[in-house]
Chains A and B, each alone.
Chain A
Amino acid sequence: GAVVSQHPSWVICKSGTSVKIECRSLDFQATTMFWYRQFPKQSLMLMATSNEGSKATYEQGVEKDKFLINHASLTLSTLTVTSAHPEDSSFYICSARVDKGHNEQFFGPGTRLTVL
């Protein structure tokens, strides 16, 4: 149980285009989903927290107009990188939590984004 999937697992795009990454909880309903970014050989950096049906809460320094997050249902959250540039190339990981009383997060396998 508690499986989280991400799609795509990797994507290559041209500079200036937008890329959408999906995060799904496969066998549970996730009231909260989280999006992280990970640079090579570094720890995870929380980008934003999204609750189903409400606006995402972005961490300081993360551009909300650049990284659009939608959490339309209890099993799906999407991250759209708008007008991507090479500096947006990174490993993006999502996680999901059942509810606030459970502090464990279940992580997706990650999406490798490369912007040319």
Chain B
Amino acid sequence: AQSVTQLDSHVSVSEGTPVLLRCNYSSSYSPSLFWYVQHPNKGLQLLLKYTSAATLVKGINGFEAEFKKSETSFHLTKPSAHMSDAAEYFCVAPARGYNKLIFGAGTRLAVHP
């Protein structure tokens, strides 16, 4: 069965340091993959999406992610964290047939001064 695994439930970084949020997927076919961000009591905002056009995907707010088929990973990175990046991040993949989305459990990013 297809699944999305976010390896860290919580990540804490200092402002100005790099961010790494890890995501692994399992799929029998080449998937599309998304990263969404959710600020408290808000809906989900799309950060970036992979659709097989390029393995390195650049998103909004300085985030990027690299699709590595050999490692079945799609980790989210940012060179320098801002306080405003503190939020919940979800790695998401469409189910086969595209009728549903499969969500990772989420990673809560804390950014401290």
Q: Please indicate the chain B residues that have their CB under 8 angstroms from the CB of A43 in the complex.
A: 90, 103-106
Interface string of A78-99 (1 = CB under 8 A from B): 0000000000000101010000
- Segment at the A interface, from B15-23, B39-47, B54-62, B68-76: B39-47
Give the contact-size bracket for chain B.
Answer: 20 to 34
Number of A residues, CB within 8 Å of B: 25
Q: Report 8 cross-chain contacts, Cβ distance below 8 Å, ordered by A residue.
A: A4-B43, A42-B105, A42-B106, A43-B90, A44-B90, A100-B99, A103-B94, A103-B98
Known A103-B32, A107-B43, A107-B45; 13 more pairs at CB < 8 Å: A41-B108, A42-B105, A43-B103, A43-B104, A43-B105, A93-B44, A103-B94, A103-B101, A104-B46, A104-B49, A107-B36, A110-B42, A112-B41
